[in-house]
Amino acid sequence: MDLQLKIITFTLMLLLVSSSVSAQFRVFHISRYGAALEGDITQALTNAWSDACASTTSSKVVIPRGTYNLKQIEFKGPCLAPIEVQADGTIQAPQDPNQLNGDTQWIKFTYIDFLTLSGAGTFDGQGTIAWNQNNCAKTKDCKKLSMNFGFGFLNNTIVRDITSKDSKNFHVNVLGCNNITFTNFNVIAPATSPNTDGIHIGRSTQVNITDTNIATGDDCISLGDGSKQITVLNVTCGPGHGISVGSLGKYPNEEPVEGVIVRNCTFNNTDNGVRIKTWPDTPVTTTVTDMHFEDIKMVNVKNPIIIDQEYCPWNQCTKQSPSKVKISKVTFKNIIGTSATEEGVVLICSSGVPCEDVMLTDIDLTFNGTVATAKLSNVKPIIQGKSPPLLNFLFPSP
């Protein structure tokens, strides 16, 4: 049984177990703690969580249908038994970004085993005012804006059926987690919303994202350092900046990224499709290996396939020294559709540590009705089946 099938099987088992024991849940309904429609449920939800987390049998905190206001909150474990938060209402963050601490997330789950976040609810970050204040891409001296969700140091977690809307910053930050699955998870934000990555993953293992729709103003999914055994299946991305490994190489002590599968995904009118990006001119040395991008459809995507080891937005660095991040064992297979630019494949690798074992198999991309081209530097790809013609081919002399 391959890794993907094992992950799917385990996730289905967790869902089955969750369903089979639902009748045994102790239910903690926020209305019993004084929550009211259109009101602030922060204290009621805090108290309900505290009691549920202390339960020695499986528990469920319920937020019913309706609209509620919620201030910054942390759901912290460890809890004594599996716990679920079922949100069926619309939960709204404060509009004023000054009412939230940008150094943490609006809603944070930490140090919990066997957590489920479910329901048909929408978590509305009300980010419109904050987006107009966001200049962090251009200057380091900027005010941090709060993310919708933080999932930190969780084991065996499922997030399903909920919607994250208009976050002030990233929608989801996953850090230090092991075996966390997002399924039928929806992210909604306009293309003009800055730095609103859908799901950002860092230093986590076995993260699975399946049957999910992400529309946002930055990366749909971004993988930071230490991301391992990441599986992305049946995800629709757009608008947004695509699915990105990185950026990497900017900060000290970065951990390797390895074991990534992106399969059966669709990109609609995004800036990038599948991308690996690293910073040049930094002292950081790390590796990216065992990346597989397969069975993907591009619809009017500016950079359908891209490795960019000269990533340097807003002139925040120089390109005097090459990136020290080593990229190897990368597969791009059965990627079809339309490119919004002539160069459908751009592989710009580091002259200091050239890419190795990069494979292009059955790449069928067109630009304005003609075959898109490929631009390569510091890489000797293995080409199988159909592939775009090489626009240039640069490789340093040994």
CATH of the domain at 342: 2.160.20.10
Residue 119 token pair: 């329901």
Report pLDDT for 137. Answer: 61
Does residue 369 sit within a domain? yes
- 3-class SS at 20? helix
Residue 156 token pair: 């065996």
Does residue 308 sit within a domain? yes
Phi-psi region of 192 (alpha: psi -120 to 50; beta: other; left: phi over 0): alpha
Q: Are the C-beta atoms of residues 204 and 225 closer than 8 Å to each other?
A: no
Report pLDDT for 20. Answer: 41
- Please identify which residue in the block is written with the tokens 């339309």: 338
Identity at 210, one-letter amino acid code: T
Report pLDDT for 21. Answer: 43
Which of 171, 200, 241, 292 is an active site residue?
241
- Please identify which residue in the block is written with the tokens 């950081």: 284
Does residue 136 sit within a domain? no
Annotation says 241 is catalytic: yes
For residue 231, the enclosing domain spans 3-96+104-128+145-394
Does residue 110 sit within a domain? yes
- φ and ψ at residue 98, rounded to 5 degrees: -70, -15
- The domain total for the chain is 1
Say which residues have a Cβ less than 8 Å from residue 140's Cβ, sequence separation at least 6.
Answer: none
Report pLDDT for 396. Answer: 47
Report pLDDT for 260. Answer: 98
Report pLDDT for 315. Answer: 76
Does residue 169 sit within a domain? yes
Report pLDDT for 4. Answer: 55
Report pLDDT for 30. Answer: 98
- Weakly modelled stretches of the chain, pLDDT under 50: 1, 12, 16-23, 395-398
Does residue 133 sit within a domain? no
Q: Are the C-beta atoms of residues 343 and 304 closer than 8 Å to each other?
A: no
Does residue 294 sit within a domain? yes
Does residue 135 sit within a domain? no
